[in-house]
Amino acid sequence: MKKLYPLFFLLLSSTILFAQNIDPQLSKIIEAQEVFQKEQAANGATQWPDYSKATIKKQIKHYQAQLADLAEIDQSKLSASDQINQDMLQLVLEDRLYNLVNESYLMPLNAEGGFLTGMVYRTQNLQLKTEKEQADYLAKLKAIPAYLAQQTGLLKSGLKQKKVVPKIIAQNCIGYVADYLNKQPKDLFLAKPLHKGETVNQKGLSIIKEDVLPAFQQFHAFLEKEYLPQVREEIGVRNNKDGKAYYEQRVRYFTTLDMTPDEVFEIGQKEVARIRAEMDAILEELAFEGSYADFLNFLRTDEQFYAKTGDELLAKAAWYSKKAEEILPRYFGKLPRLPFTVNPVPDAIAPKYTSGRYSGGSMESQRAGQYWVNTHNLKSRPLYALPALTLHEAVPGHHLQGSLAQEIENVPKFRTQTYLSAFGEGWALYTEYLGKEAGIYKTPYEDFGRLTYEMWRACRLVVDPGMHYKGWTRQEALDFMASNTALSIHEVTTEIDRYIGWPGQAVSYKIGELKIRELRKKVEAAQGDKFDIRAFHDLVLANGSIPLSSLERIIAAEFLK
């Protein structure tokens, strides 16, 4: 996955708005959104997200008004850039409104911790350089008990309204909180920013000891004694109130296309069969004596495929990162200014985390992008999959795409900071495929690693709707993933649990990749010998993370006239 970004930001900049020729009606909507977001974020430095009834009511009213205004605009009369602005606003605002009306916030937990992990993300990279920033962070720590109390109230309301996470997700989150409680204040993730002077350090540690840890203790007791006994055993969101309709909406949002869960499921089955045939061809090339299942067991158990230390894994990831950078000038005309580094996944979230992730950086914040590699449980981090993981998370994947998006000029700020999974994850998966034609995979095992990652994403198209829409059990999903990919059993388990706790998101990867490959084939067929891969890639990335329907329109207008 991933790219580690919030799903979207709508933090706009009026200085940019007036520097371009935006349609007046659309400009008015964007300016209104800017004002609204600034109001919502006014206390962001010292507070946590607010889910009070008054705030939610205000947000619903605002989004309804915004969407009504958008509906009055004739898109055919807009410029190409404004058409994208409208597409993205429509998609994001509709999704925000749906989740508020549907009360999705009553389920703030997922397999990776949900809002708990969100607290890690919001504090991991803070740099308290000034006295005000230090004071703001102390205030933020003081606000944690109230934040946990509000989340407890939401979970209680969810119990009453039959909008809950399944038991396996609740158990995972109890484990996260228990881990926090087993740490000394100085070792808790919230203490990491406390490094600017002894005074702020002592005050912060005192707040963590006297206020934060007791609040986490109360929250842990609530989850274990009250919430867990009442949540559902069934894993699929279809078992919640209005669950099937909710999943249908999640699929439309995460694919940015008008697709149904049944269509996704069917595409997944076809892709699994196609990729399996390519995998079987590699077994023949290696002259492996044994079945496909035997080969998967060989890959999962042979020591040659695993690093002995975390440092060794990080060093290899860094090496593959540099080899990936080597191919960039051949495939891209424009490259970003922002560099990236390789770091381990933070200890606070590593045990139940995926193999790698991208954490975005910023020239403005003086922070490089970060390719996170999970050094926890090395027996589940195969080296043969590391080239594909590196292409996906670093370059030409998430770092390249996200950093170029930040550099786009003369568009509203939300265009440079919005992240849509179908585009972002689809692009990153496409770059794994690109690595094969670029010669990144040097051995049949590394090519098999690429295929097992592609198979992994194809399997998601089957297991995600299978669990959430068709009634599959967790064991059925685990068996399907384990029998078709070379992922370690540990990673198969963490992945399936992630899909259980995040309905719909997992299908975005493969759908996005298939769309980009489909568009490339159309352009190659239309242009023949004149096809310029650098020009194609530059245009795909030129507008940031956009809906796939918008991408289709842009590619057709430029290359398929």
Show the 3-state SS of 53-87. HHHHHHHHHHHHHHHHHHHCCCHHHCCHHHHHHHH
Cα 421 to Cα 3: distance, rounded to the nearest angstrom = 9
Identity of the residue numbered 334: K
Q: Provide long-range contacts, Cβ within 8 A and 24+ apart, for 248-251.
A: 248/469, 249/98, 249/102, 250/503, 250/504, 250/505, 251/465, 251/504, 251/507
Stated as kind and residue range, the H or E segment containing 369 is strand 369-373
pLDDT of residue 16: 36
Q: Where are the beta strands (DSSP E) in 68-150?
A: none
Cα 198 to Cα 212: distance, rounded to the nearest angstrom = 20
pLDDT of residue 349: 85
Cβ neighbourhood burial of 302 (10 Å; 0-12, 13-18, 19+): exposed
Question: Residues 509, 510, 512, CA angle at the centre, nearest 5°?
Answer: 70
Q: Which candidate, 89, 98, 96, 95, places its Cα nearest to that of 71?
A: 89
pTM, entire model: 0.88
pLDDT in tens, the chain (561 residues): 544 433 333 333 333 333 357 899 999 999 998 888 888 777 777 889 999 999 999 999 999 999 999 999 999 999 999 999 999 999 999 999 999 999 999 999 998 899 999 999 899 888 888 889 999 999 999 999 999 999 999 999 999 999 999 999 999 999 999 999 999 999 999 999 997 667 789 999 999 999 999 999 999 999 999 999 999 999 999 999 999 999 999 999 999 999 999 999 999 999 999 999 999 999 999 999 999 999 999 999 999 999 999 999 999 999 999 999 999 999 999 999 999 999 999 988 888 788 999 999 999 889 999 999 999 999 999 999 999 999 999 999 999 999 999 999 988 888 887 899 999 999 999 999 999 999 999 999 999 999 999 999 999 999 999 999 999 999 999 999 999 998 889 889 989 999 999 999 999 999 999 999 999 999 999 999 999 999 999 999 999 999 999 999 999 999 998
pLDDT of residue 111: 86
Cα 512 to Cα 463: distance, rounded to the nearest angstrom = 17
pLDDT of residue 3: 42
Q: Which two tokens stand for residue 301?
A: 């158990």
pLDDT of residue 46: 80
Please state the separation of Cα 2 from the chain's center in Å. 5
Number of Cβ within 10 Å of residue 25's Cβ equals 16
pLDDT of residue 404: 96
Cα 325 to Cα 396: distance, rounded to the nearest angstrom = 8
pLDDT of residue 10: 36
Instruction: Compute CA distances 213 → 103, 210, 458, 492, whole Å.
Output: 29, 7, 42, 32
DSSP string, 158-193: HHHHT----HHHHHHHHHHHHHHHTS-GGGSGGGTT
